[in-house]
């Protein structure tokens, strides 16, 4: 390329000579023109911006909606023997599970799973209004503690993992760390089901609950993978030919059926107020651990965010414990000690007691002495000197 001497600058209107082999081309600079951006690139950038800014909040909203619907379905089941109400409960459960499924597709499992405690909270609040069940002061405090813990977890939640396609999900599941973790969980679950549960399942509440929690870990991973599959399907990616969605569907069906079976066994044998809090703690702990191993959600978190997430989780556990452990106690705000002491009344003067016993005796003696008995003979006293 060569610039003529007359126009030795690159200003607007300048001429430039371009040489290629024996050919010469004269070009004129007419201004700075931005290259035309293809519409597909604009569409992709908009989708990326939406995913980065709003995907987490969409998943959070679906998780809250799921908790509300599942908690409401419990009230509808208790409330009605009528056919219409029963069908309403079924629809609420189905809608809640669908919303929960969508929440895992948009938000990290570290956020969605602990928010399941809100369904217990909503069930407790609605039961006090619609079923006439009393919610004492400690139960209300437990609800407030659950809300506070959930808020802390949302504030310190990890960023969404960078897994957007089925191929990336398959690569994550082939990771050595996750394979070792999954094998350990599977072997432990089989030992619990076939060796320990037949002997100690009727006496120890932890056996069936640990089985449900371990199986639930696989179901959450399967739901997460299927959510990514559905997103890729709407994006037009060829996910139907990939074997991973079919494997995850089979894992989800087997894990859910096994999980519900052992959870019903635990509810039939042990107290419900003990089963649900313990199950929540074990299930959430294992799901969060699986999320750390599989999706590595916590790798991008600072030490402060990790401490905040753990603190929020422990706070939710305490709130659920307060809600269930003290629900039968008769405690209200009226039974609390008052701030001001009641004024002490002045001592009343002691009433003067008039004893009439002695007077009555004296009167009786006088009357008896004044009226001589007719049968009594006079007595003769002889005095000897």
**For 6-48, what is each residue's pLDDT tens digit?**
445 556 556 667 666 666 666 666 554 444 444 444 445 555 5
Residues 6+ apart with CB under 8 A from 95: 69
How many domains does the chain fold into?
3
Q: Tokens for 195, please give them.
A: 């060796």
Beta-bridge partner residues of 15: 28
Which residue range is the domain that position 23 belongs to?
Answer: 1-30
- Asked whether residue 123 is domain-assigned, the answer is yes
Q: Of the residues 263, 295, 327, which one is the last residue of a structural domain?
A: 295
Evaluate whether residue 130 is within a structural domain: yes
Q: How confident is the model at residue 371 (pLDDT cuts 50, 70, 90)?
A: low
Say yes or no: 91 and 132 in one domain. yes
Does the pLDDT at position 243 exceed 80?
Answer: yes
Task: Quote the pLDDT of residue 379.
Answer: 54
Q: Are 151 and 213 found together in one domain?
A: no
Q: How many CB atoms lie within 10 A of CB 186?
A: 13
pLDDT over threshold 70, residue 310: yes
Residue 264 located in a structural domain: yes
Same domain, 109 and 144: yes
186 and 218 inside one domain: yes
Residue 18 domain flag: yes
* pLDDT recorded at residue 79: 57
* CA distance linking residue 209 with residue 274, whole number of Å: 11
Q: Please give the average per-residue pLDDT across 87-103, as a whole number.
A: 56
Mark whether 144 and 66 lie in a shared domain.
Answer: yes
Q: Are residues 9 and 77 in the same domain?
A: no
Domain contains 373: no
Same domain, 179 and 278: yes
Element housing 178 (H / E): helix 176-191
pTM: 0.60
Domain membership of residue 288 (yes or no) is yes
Same domain assignment for residues 174 and 103: no
Adjacent-strand bridge partners of 24: 19
Give yes or no for residue 184 having a pLDDT over 90. Answer: yes
- In a domain, residue 229? The reply is yes
H or E, element range at 27: strand 23-28
Is pLDDT at 63 greater than 70 in this prediction? no
For the cut 60, the answer to whether the pLDDT of residue 72 exceeds it is yes
Q: Tell me: do 152 and 90 sit in the same domain.
A: yes
Distance (Å, rounded) from C-alpha 6 to C-alpha 4? 6
> 159, 194, 220 — which closes off a domain?
159
Residues 245 and 182 in one domain: yes
Residue 384 DSSP one-character state: -
Give burial (CB, 10 Å; 0-12/13-18/19+) of 139. Answer: buried
| Closest-CA residue to 291 (of 143, 74, 113) | 113
**The last residue of a domain, from among 141, 159, 177:** 159
Asked whether residue 1 is domain-assigned, the answer is yes
Residues in the chain: 385
258 and 167 in a common domain: yes
Residues 117 and 152 placed together within one structural domain of the fold: yes
State the chain's mean pLDDT as an integer.
71
**Of residues 197 and 345, which shows the higher confidence score?**
197
């Amino acid at each position: 390329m060569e610039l003529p001497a007359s126009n030795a600058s690159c200003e607007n209107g300048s001429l430039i000579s371009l040489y290629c082999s024996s050919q010469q081309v004269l070009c004129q600079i007419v201004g700075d023109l931005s290259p035309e951006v293809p519409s597909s690139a604009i569409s992709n950038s908009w989708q990326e911006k939406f995913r980065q800014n709003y995907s987490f909040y969409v998943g959070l909203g679906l998780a809250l909606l799921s908790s509300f619907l599942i908690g409401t379905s419990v009230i509808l089941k208790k409330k009605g023997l009528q056919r219409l109400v029963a069908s309403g409960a079924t629809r609420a459960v189905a809608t809640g599970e669908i919303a929960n499924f969508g929440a895992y597709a948009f938000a990290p499992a570290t956020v969605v799973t602990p928010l399941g405690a809100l369904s217990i909270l909503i069930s407790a609040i609605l039961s006090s209004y619609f079923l006439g069940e009393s919610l004492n002061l400690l139960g209300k405090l437990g609800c407030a503690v659950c809300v506070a813990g959930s808020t802390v977890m949302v504030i310190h939640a990890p960023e969404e993992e960078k897994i957007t396609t089925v191929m990336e999900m398959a690569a994550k599941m082939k990771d050595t760390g996750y394979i070792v973790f999954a094998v350990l969980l599977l072997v432990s679950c089989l030992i619990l089901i076939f060796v320990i549960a037949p002997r100690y399942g009727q006496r120890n509440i932890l056996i069936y609950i640990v089985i449900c929690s371990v199986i639930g870990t696989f179901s959450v991973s399967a739901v997460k993978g299927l959510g990514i599959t559905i997103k890729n399907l709407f994006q037009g990616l060829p996910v139907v030919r990939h074997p991973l969605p079919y494997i995850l569907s089979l894992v989800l069906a087997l894990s859910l059926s096994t999980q519900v079976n052992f959870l019903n066994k635990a509810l039939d044998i042990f107290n419900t107020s003990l089963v649900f809090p313990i199950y929540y703690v074990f299930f959430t702990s294992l799901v969060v651990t699986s999320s750390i191993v599989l999706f590595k959600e916590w790798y991008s978190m600072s030490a402060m965010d990790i401490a905040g997430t753990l603190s929020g989780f422990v706070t939710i556990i305490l709130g659920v414990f307060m809600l269930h452990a003290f629900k039968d106690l008769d405690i209200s705000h009226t039974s609390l000690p008052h701030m001001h002491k009641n004024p002490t009344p002045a001592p009343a003067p002691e009433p003067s007691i008039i004893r009439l016993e002695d007077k009555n005796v004296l009167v009786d003696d006088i009357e008896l002495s004044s009226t001589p008995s007719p049968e009594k003979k006079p007595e003769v006293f002889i005095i000897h000197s």
